[in-house]
Chain A
Amino acid sequence: MFFILLKKELFVEFRSREVTLSMLVFGLSIILTFAFSSNVSPTIIANYAPGMFWIMVLFVAVIGVHRSFSYEKEFDAFSMLISAPIDRGFIFLSKWISGFIFLTIMEALIIIPFFKFLMIDFPSQPWIAIGTTMLINCAIMAIASLVSGIAMRARLSEVLLPVLLFPLVSPVIIAATKISGSIMAGDPFSFWQIWLLIVLTVIVIFGLVGYTLFDFIAEE
């Protein structure tokens, strides 16, 4: 059943491309704003680049999950979805994994403009950077999908989503900035392994909490 729900998410998105396109354009606009507002030496920019990157990802993730859950409000599709005889935890899992896929696609498209516009060098260990970035995406989307599931059917959902998400996701953003900064500086694994552990903890805990709580949240 999970794969049917995931297929539905991917099918809807690949037909309209609304989520990924809006994430991409918004992400590019943020990079341009960063480039215009920080016209300083490349060395200083390189110090701030990991933070800038994850702030951009967080903003873009908000746009993505909000749009992804907004689909369900149209024609009250969510009511039909939760009235189906399925484990509601699977709805959370499908939103989480599809959100992770869309966010990763957006990052793959935006990473080159990010480095080129801000005139910073690519990390010397690209595969480690890609692997850790994917894990961080997974952690951000676990919290974002859960919070979006809560805020989606509330009034003022577009305001409530960032207000609730940003403080909750702060440990992941701290860890993400530290990991990316260490990888870009070429630090050994022992320097940033604790941050990876925090990211993995968030994935496991929020994955389990989201799967369990969604059954109660997603009621008529």
Chain B
Amino acid sequence: MKIFLNNKTNRTWFVLIIAMMLFNVWNVIVNTPMVPEQHWAQKIFYVHVPSAWVGFLSYFVVMVAGIMFFIKKDDHWDDVGLAAAELGTVFMALVLITGPIWATPIWGKPWIWEPRLTTTLILFLIYIGYFMMRSFGGHVERVKRYAAALGIIAFVDVPIIFVSVKFWTPEIQSHPQVEMAQQPSGILTPFLLSLGIFTLLYTLMLTYKIHVIRIKNNVGSNV
């Protein structure tokens, strides 16, 4: 972290984004209105939806990194893919934790087979396999290729999983964010702000993670 923050641009971004994140938490708790029937539970959506967005964005980055790794044959793209996969899984875990916390008072049970939540769970499981492959795969160069391929396959599978779960459980209601565009500005503005700040936080975390992976690789190659 110290080496990363030695760079002036990184330091500025770090301070700025942490400040924005703190403001975001304060804004969500204090300034956003209470929604009737949902009360405090609704506020979790200012974290849940941005986490889901960033998680899927991160897995998209894994796919792009995988394609670039195959085209360029450059280890840099493997570092990007690994960093994005780790961050994507962290944010997806956050989605899977915050979803049931919201669902328990609203739906009366922590889990229902809602298409987005189910797609998130399946994708999360695929990425657990991805990390098992990374850890137990053996030959380093081969594992990089396999990981790149898995990143592509996992993202290609997402729309198919989503559609199949959607038709599998048509009676289950969707998340409230479908109607987010019709929400009053008191809800919509902080929500969009939270979405933007989470995206910036993700960009900073990705930059830092790539930096850490590179240092680790350099240490490994010098030993």
Contacts and interface: CB of A to CB of B under 8 A. Distances in A.
Interface of A: 146-147, 150-151, 153-156, 159-160, 163-164, 166-168, 170-171, 174-175, 178, 194-195, 198, 201-202, 205-206, 209, 213, 216-217, 219
Given A164-B126, A167-B126, A175 B164 contact: yes
Interface string B119-138: 00011011011101100111
A156 B132 CA distance: 9
B145 A160 contact: no
B126 A216 contact: no
B152 interface: yes
B180 interface: no
Given A155-B136, A164-B129, A171-B165, 20 more contacts: A156-B132, A159-B136, A160-B129, A167-B123, A168-B126, A168-B154, A170-B122, A171-B161, A171-B164, A175-B164, A195-B164, A195-B167, A198-B163, A198-B164, A206-B153, A209-B156, A213-B70, A216-B70, A216-B149, A217-B145
B146 interface: yes
A217 B125 CA distance: 22
B152 A209 contact: yes
Contacts of B122: 167, 170
A160 B133 contact: yes
Contacts, number: 93
Interface residues of B, number: 33
23 contacts: A147-B153, A150-B150, A153-B138, A154-B138, A154-B142, A155-B136, A155-B138, A163-B128, A164-B130, A164-B150, A167-B122, A168-B126, A170-B164, A171-B164, A174-B165, A175-B164, A178-B168, A205-B160, A206-B156, A209-B153, A209-B156, A216-B148, A217-B149
Contacts of A209: 152-153, 156
B160 A171 contact: yes
B139 interface: yes
Interface of B: 70, 122-123, 125-126, 128-130, 132-133, 136-139, 142-143, 145-146, 148-150, 152-154, 156-157, 160-161, 163-165, 167-168
Nearest to B161: A171
A175 B146 CA distance: 27
Contacts of A147: 153
B157 A154 contact: no
B157 A168 contact: yes
